[in-house]
């Protein structure tokens, strides 16, 4: 496994992201251990998922937009990791959205439409 260096970590948000990971995994698939996916809040413009390593980041602005947006963003990055593990998906394709729709709470999925317009084609619902 390659070592990933996540820069500009903001450790005071670690409890928030750990809680979001646990809650999302509990509603998605209880068999996935939360310790197999690690997330960080970072001082950056965008988040990133390192598929193979099971590590992802979300930008600080996502938590500042509110806990719902933050939870959506965490679900999005986790969907990258899980869809890679299950289907070897590396893009925003049908396999990614198969996982995203199951892991992201329905009431939060509309945020994805702001990011990727075509996500509606894969079943992402509007508000």
What are 49-80's pLDDT values in tens digits?
999 999 999 999 999 999 999 999 999 999 99
At residue 127, the 3 state secondary structure works out as coil
Give the pLDDT of residue 2. 53
81-96 pLDDT tens trace: 999 999 999 899 999 9
Q: What pTM did the predictor assign?
A: 0.94
Average pLDDT over residues 26-40: 93
Report yes or no: 104 and 79 within 8 Å, Cβ to Cβ.
yes
Domains of the chain by residue range? 11-122
At residue 53, the 3 state secondary structure works out as coil
The CATH class of the 11-122 domain is alpha beta
Sign of CA dihedral 68, 71, 13, 117: negative
């Amino acid at each position: 496994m390659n070592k990933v260096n996540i820069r500009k970590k903001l450790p005071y948000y670690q409890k928030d992201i750990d809680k979001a990971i646990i809650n999302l995994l509990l509603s998605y698939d209880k068999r996935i251990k939360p310790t197999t996916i690690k997330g960080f809040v970072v001082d950056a413009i965008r988040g990133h998922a390192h598929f193979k390593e099971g590590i992802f980041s979300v930008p600080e602005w996502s938590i500042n937009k509110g806990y719902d947006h933050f939870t959506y963003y965490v679900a999005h990055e986790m969907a990258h990791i899980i869809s890679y593990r299950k289907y070897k998906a590396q893009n925003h394709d049908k396999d990614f959205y198969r996982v995203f729709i199951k892991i992201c709470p329905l009431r939060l999925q509309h945020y994805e439409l702001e990011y990727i317009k075509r996500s509606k084609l894969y079943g992402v619902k509007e508000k």
